[in-house]
């Protein structure tokens, strides 16, 4: 029995490469969106972007940039060694980003109170990190 092909037709919008760079871009940009929000009264409305959440938010930004760098290296013809598949690196970056975003999703630092609500940016970061993992898994399945 013939195994179905996972290759996408020419000109298909969401190839694994497109999903990889798009997820990496959204992951990086999500650190400049509201991760926490809250109000301390009728006159005080507070919003904290991911970059200002400390080292974790900044690491998430650079993980998104690392995904974009991998895609740029591929576009410019730089190949990684065969013993270090790009898809596994992408999956690893996505897993690390997911763990870091989940830490910030569960634990709100006390210095950001009364901003104890979650903003849209942290949810976008979580979805983008899942997208990076999915892109790596799709790339890995096509390499087999």
pLDDT per residue over 72-105, tens digit each?
999 999 988 888 899 999 999 999 999 999 999 9
Looking at residue 10, its pLDDT comes to: 56
- pLDDT under 70: residue ranges of the chain: 1-14
What does the alpha-carbon distance between residue 136 and residue 14 come to, in Å, rounded to a whole number? 13
> Is there a domain that residue 1 lies in?
no
Number of compact structural domains in the chain: 1
> Is there a domain that residue 2 lies in?
no
Looking at residue 40, its pLDDT comes to: 75
> Is there a domain that residue 6 lies in?
no
> Is there a domain that residue 10 lies in?
no
Side-by-side strand order, sheet with 45-49: 45-49, 34-39, 117-118
Looking at residue 108, its pLDDT comes to: 84
- Domain limits at 52? 16-39+48-143
Looking at residue 21, its pLDDT comes to: 95
> Is there a domain that residue 64 lies in?
yes
> Is there a domain that residue 3 lies in?
no
Looking at residue 1, its pLDDT comes to: 47
> Is there a domain that residue 26 lies in?
yes
């Amino acid at each position: 029995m013939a195994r179905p092909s996972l290759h996408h037709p020419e000109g298909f919008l969401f190839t694994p490469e497109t999903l990889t760079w798009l997820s990496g871009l959204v992951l990086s940009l999500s650190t400049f969106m509201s991760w926490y929000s809250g109000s301390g009264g009728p006159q005080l409305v507070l919003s904290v972007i991911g970059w200002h959440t400390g080292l974790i938010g900044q690491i998430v930004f650079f993980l998104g940039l690392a995904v974009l760098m991998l895609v740029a290296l591929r576009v410019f013809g730089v190949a990684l060694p065969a013993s270090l598949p790009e898809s596994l690196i992408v999956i690893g970056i996505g897993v690390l980003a997911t763990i870091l975003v989940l830490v910030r999703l569960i634990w709100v630092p006390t210095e950001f109170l009364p901003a104890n609500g979650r903003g849209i940016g942290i949810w976008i970061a979580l979805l983008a990190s899942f997208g990076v993992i999915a892109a790596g898994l799709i790339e890995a399945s096509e390499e087999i």
